[in-house]
Amino acid sequence: MESLGAVVQTGVSPAQPALGRQGYVRAAVAGATGYAGGELLSILLRHPGVRIVRLMAEIPKPIPMEEAHPALRGNRLPICELPALDDLRSSDIDLVFLATPHEASHNLVPGLLDRGLRVVDLSAAFRLKDPAAYPRWYGFKHSAAAALAAAVYGAPELYAEEIRKARLVANPGCYATSIILALTPLLRAGWANLAAGIVCDSKSGVTGAGRTPSERLHFPEVHENFRAYSLFHHRHVPEMLQQLGLEERDFIFTPHLLPINRGILSTTYVRLRGGRAVEEIVSLYREFYARAPMVRVYDAGAMPEIQAVARTNYFDVGFALDPATNRLIVISALDNLAKGAAGQAVQNMNLMYGFPEETALG
């Protein structure tokens, strides 16, 4: 946890214009009643450099925030209102977090940018570089080409410099984060035998599916149950392929629904191109993530599990290797609402405004 004093000392140079005259970021949250919205609020409330100035959601009438998030009772938060974009002005607001559905984000972002607001969008609306991919994977036609071109993919461990300057950050998907951070060091080093195929078997808690009730997410349908879904066609696949530079034919991603609230654990199978000791893998990842405070690379023999990352912003990664056959298993874990959504969004905001990357996330 960083105090504002520490922030001023270490993170923000006087010349950086990011923090306004106020000395803090004035943040708005749209989609505040969902799970990612609630997580955003709980993180922002402990951020010493942020004030939450506006809350919005598609609700029948304004409500106090504790009606949607009982744990937030007692915090001084604005009333949650219906979205009214014409009221959002850069004189009052610096940054808008969008925890809204894909199409809603797609429709909102150009107007927000035009108003001079910076945006961190937690939906997928600006993650895929190719607008033509949206009809297949997300079922809508993308018509915000300029914003899409300007968007920066918000993986702080990979694109910190671009994020610092970004006006629009496309916050990565939860599953996508668990796979992209697990594979990037290996792929960039050229150690993986791509032709042998990569298999990612992922398991996620239920909050990753959002807060809208449905029979498939009704308590008795999930509890004491476990199932795979979206085999060969989950929406996060194109985002992973784009970031990893892989072809669909060399990559399988299979999501499963865990009977827990929060957390993703991914088991990824890769064949290496040549003989490596597991300690070399550990070293490769340690070097790659040397400046990434939210990544924890495990020693050989130790393995991430969901409880180690739940309600933290950490991305944890560990390895098992069969040296006789060069087969590597990468185990990665994160909290889908934190590092997989709201925590990563704040991490991006921290970069955008010159706060230490882990502020409010440690």
Q: Which residues, 291 to 320, sit near its own copies by CB under 8 A?
A: 296, 303-312, 314, 316, 320
Between residues 116 and 323, which has the closer beta carbon with respect to its own copies? 323
Q: How far is the CB of 261 from its own copies (least distance, A)?
A: 5
Question: Using CB under 8 A, which of 262, 292, 334, 345 touches its own copies?
Answer: 262
Q: Which residues are catalytic?
A: 174
Long-range CB contacts (within 8 A, 24+) of 226-234? 226/256, 226/257, 226/258, 226/259, 227/256, 227/257, 228/254, 228/255, 228/256, 229/255, 229/256, 229/257, 230/255, 234/175
* Burial group, residue 250, by CB count within 10 angstroms (0-12, 13-18, 19+): middle
Q: How many residues bind its own copies (CB under 8 A)?
A: 74
Using rule CB under 8 A, residue 196 touches its own copies:
yes
Using rule CB under 8 A, residue 161 touches its own copies:
no
Question: Using CB under 8 A, which of 81, 103, 201, 280 touches its own copies?
Answer: 201
Angle formed at CA 226 by CA 222 and CA 227, multiple of 5 degrees: 110
Between residues 91 and 212, which has the closer beta carbon with respect to its own copies? 212
Question: Using CB under 8 A, which of 148, 241, 292, 331 touches its own copies?
Answer: 331
Question: Using CB under 8 A, which of 174, 258, 284, 346 touches its own copies?
Answer: 258
In one-letter notation, the amino acid at residue 39 is E
Q: What is the 3-state secondary structure (H, E, C) of 34-82?
A: CHHHHHHHHHHHCCCCEEEEEEECCCCCCECHHHHCHHHCCCCCCCEEC
Tokens for 359, please give them. Answer: 């502020």
Provide the β-strand partners of residue 170: 121, 153
Question: Using CB under 8 A, which of 129, 164, 167, 327 touches its own copies?
Answer: 327
Among the residue ranges 133-141, 163-171, 236-244, 249-257, the one whose residues contact its own copies (CB under 8 A): 249-257
Question: Using CB under 8 A, which of 10, 58, 62, 71 touches its own copies?
Answer: 71
Q: Are strands 95-98 and 118-121 parallel, antiparallel or unpaired?
A: parallel
- Print the binding letters for residues 206-225 with its own copies: x by CB under 8 A, - otherwise: xx---x-xxx-xxxxxxxxx
Please, which of residues 72-101 interact with its own copies by CB under 8 A?
73-74
